[in-house]
Amino acid sequence: MDPMEAIKQTYFQECDELLLAMEEGLIAMESGEADSEMINAVFRAVHSIKGGGGAFGFEILVGFAHVFETAMDQVRSGKLSPSADVVKVLLRAGDKLSDHVSAARAGGGSEVEDSDVKEELRRLTGEEGEDDGPPAADFEGLAFSPIQIDIGDDPVPAPVSVALPSWNIRFAPHAGLYAKANEPFLLLRELATLGSLEVQADLSRLPELAALEPDQAYFAWNIVLHDCQDRAKIEEAFEFVLGDCDLDISELKAEEPAAEPAPEMPVAEVAAPVVHEAASPEKKPAVAAAAEPIKQTIRVDLDKVDRLVNLVGELVITQAMLSQRLMECSAKNSTAGGGLGELEHLLRELQEAVMAIRTQPVKSVFQRMPRLVRETAAQTGKEVRLVIEGEATEVDKTVIERLGEPLTHMIRNAVDHGLESPQDRVAAGKPAEGTVTLSAEHRGGRIVIEVSDDGRGIDRARVRQKAIERGLISPSANLADEEIDNLIFLPGFTTANQVSNISGRGVGLDVVRRNILDLGGRIGIGSVQGKGSRFSLTLPLTLAVLDGMIVAVGDQTFVLPLTHIIESLLPKASDVRRFGSNGTLLNVRGVYVPLVGVGRLLGVPNSKKDLASSVAILVESEGTGRMALAVDAIVGQRQVVIKSFESNFGHIEGIAAATILGDGRVALILDIDSLVAGCRESVAKPSELQLAAGAKQ
């Protein structure tokens, strides 16, 4: 890749990070929690986006960032106080800047309408609208010309005309010039690029050796520069040292004698006397002491991490195989077994450590939500406060990446459908401003993300009505509250009478649910009418390993994800009931659940036909409820490394992935949710189940 193109990619990546930091700072300012460092960080973010943008010629972006930066500069210097109104404008400016970055990333063509926000920013700063003028003025280039540098060379063509003026320059450095590491020799060299040069060192101020102070300046130079058009060019050459020297430039009139000869001394080889006393060590800068330690990070190609994850996975498998071999050669009592146990323990730690590399705080997704809420609130005319909790909770990067879409949808949903209009809220005795809470926490090896609102809650009568209208349930169905709530996850379900611009773009909660299920997660819903609703997503921390129960069915071995298993039991023959043509029910302490043989379901040869003599494993899936799976035997429980085969075989209903067992055999990992969903449809409808249960009692 073209290196500049690569840097541009880096720039956009960095912009994403900076925009997040900016957003974070602005939100802290909004809630009045921002300290000066946070305000500074916002300023720096805008500043850096502008700086990089300038380098790539994104002029519109730079123009906007400049106005924004000016405002932020005034805020950080205390000239502009960050009142609620000011922060509101800044937040809008932040959104706009982010649009600008997106537009720049998308390439030319798309323009972002920013004049109103720009105008507001200018009003804040008191800067008159100069019609996008500032950036140009801001980037005055250094115009010194990079040409040959050897003094020996004659860079100017032999003077053909005598029209070019000559200059008399007296240059006497102060000590400060040397202290700042400027070097007269280099200045002279620079001058030599402008024309032909006569230099004479003035050593008259040089004292006796005994009186010489090493860090004082004693030399001066009398210079005649011929054939230089422009006085400005000469001044520019001295740009860095103005104020640290006596400089006198005057045009040399024709026929005037050249610089008056200085005291006849040889033109010395000039070595600038730059020797400094070591500074007093106790004067450490205060900044260093105040600086807090920041976490050191490195950026690593994701492929490398994934390779590591894979290798560790293989290692775990190999260890399992080794341990099995050892069992087989009946060396149970040897000390090798103990060593192997130790190894297993270490491997597990290693695996956790490697997985932790892939984890990131959910913050990166959560931070996009405030803007979403603001926009949705503005479009729906609602007043919304977003509360975010647990944003430091870490979860696998892949999970984070795929969390954005469902979360976006759920947040929009909460604002658009969940919350009432301010008038309705006041009428219901609630504050006009609604609250949407987004939280994340680790719970039992999984991450739970909740989106809750204090809105109207689910109107179950309406949901039921709608579901009947759409033929999703029969009018006579007798559903529990929970079951009604879950109806909103069905494809094609929407309660909004009019499809709104916000939530109803044909993507329903069913898609959210699908997304979450694909991640190996579950989605739940709780709602109290008039008080609000709560959606909770339960997701695995990683997609690379899972704790599974290994079961045998016929000649085959399968893995059931432990997260879905409630219990396993040996059913009594009397607890197993035939139901309907080929359905079977299992009585689990008075509650009937469908019992399905995994062997029959998947067509495994040689599996036990008699369900009553097999082992029943009670599983639960989010949304569709419980059922019992009959297997021949339970082999054990262990952590397995997930090997996806979707890229080779595509999606297979009922099978989530595969893994390699200790004995080297491949075992399929069952997708409980789709198995259960599939079975419940074919075996029995919930209402029928209740009938059956009623008949029994």
Contacting residues toward other proteins, per CB under 8 A: 3-4, 6-7, 10-11, 13-14, 37, 40-41, 43-44, 47-48, 50-52, 54-55, 137-142, 144-146, 149, 179-183, 185-187, 190, 237, 239-240, 243-244, 274, 276-281, 283, 285, 287-288, 291-292, 294
Residue 287 C-beta: closest distance to other proteins, Å: 4
Residue 308 C-beta: closest distance to other proteins, Å: 24
Residue 138 C-beta: closest distance to other proteins, Å: 6
Residue 25 C-beta: closest distance to other proteins, Å: 12
Q: Which is nearer to other proteins, 9 or 613 (CB)?
A: 9
Q: Which is nearer to other proteins, 109 or 141 (CB)?
A: 141
DSSP string, 443-460: ETTEEEEEEEE-S----H
Tell me the C-alpha distance between 277 and 613, whole Å: 93
3-state secondary structure at position 308: helix
> Angle formed by the axes of helices 59-76 and 115-125, to 10°?
30
Residue 311 C-beta: closest distance to other proteins, Å: 29
Q: CA dist 85 to 80, 371, 571, Å?
A: 11, 17, 68
List all residues 6 or more positions away from 472 whose beta carbon is below 8 Å from its beta carbon: 487, 490, 492, 493
Residue 147: both structure tokens together? 């040409």
Tell me the C-alpha distance between 612 and 589, whole Å: 16
Residue 122 C-beta: closest distance to other proteins, Å: 18
Kind and range of the H or E element at 261? none
How many alpha carbons lie under 13 Å from residue 593 in its C-beta half-sphere? 21
> How deeply is 680 buried, as exposed, middle or buried, from its count of CB atoms within 10 A (0-12, 13-18, 19+)?
buried
Tell me the C-alpha distance between 654 and 674, whole Å: 5
Residue 11 C-beta: closest distance to other proteins, Å: 4
Tell me the C-alpha distance between 86 and 235, whole Å: 43
Residue 186 C-beta: closest distance to other proteins, Å: 6
Residue 183: both structure tokens together? 């070097």
Q: What is the 3-state secondary structure (H, E, C) of 617-672?
A: EEEEECCCEEEEEEECEEEEEEEEECECCHHHHCCECCEEEEEECCCCCEEEEECH
CA angle 71, 75, 81 (to 5 degrees): 115
Nearest-10 Cα torsion for 249, 254, 259, 264: 170
Contact 306, 314 (CB under 8 A): no
Tell me the C-alpha distance between 640 and 559, whole Å: 9
Residue 225 C-beta: closest distance to other proteins, Å: 16
Residue 12 C-beta: closest distance to other proteins, Å: 9
- One-letter amino acid at 519 equals L
Q: Which is nearer to other proteins, 3 or 108 (CB)?
A: 3
Question: Could you tell me whether strands 446-453 and 532-540 are parallel, antiparallel, or unpaired per DSSP bridges?
Answer: antiparallel
Q: Which is nearer to other proteins, 74 or 439 (CB)?
A: 74
Residue 214: both structure tokens together? 């090493």
Residue 171 C-beta: closest distance to other proteins, Å: 15
Q: Which is nearer to other proteins, 236 or 383 (CB)?
A: 236
Q: Which is nearer to other proteins, 223 or 259 (CB)?
A: 223
Residue 141 C-beta: closest distance to other proteins, Å: 6
Q: Which is nearer to other proteins, 302 or 327 (CB)?
A: 302
Contact 203, 214 (CB under 8 A): no
Q: Which is nearer to other proteins, 15 or 539 (CB)?
A: 15
List all residues 6 or more positions away from 297 whose beta carbon is below 8 Å from its beta carbon: none
Question: Could you tell me whether strands 446-453 and 434-443 are parallel, antiparallel, or unpaired per DSSP bridges?
Answer: antiparallel
Residue 179 C-beta: closest distance to other proteins, Å: 7
Q: Which is nearer to other proteins, 13 or 229 (CB)?
A: 13
* Cα torsion 638, 639, 645, 646: sign: positive
Residue 556 C-beta: closest distance to other proteins, Å: 51
Q: Which is nearer to other proteins, 184 or 313 (CB)?
A: 184
Q: Which is nearer to other proteins, 106 or 142 (CB)?
A: 142
- Total Cβ atoms within 10 A of residue 552: 19
Q: For residue 547, what are the β-bridge partners?
A: 639
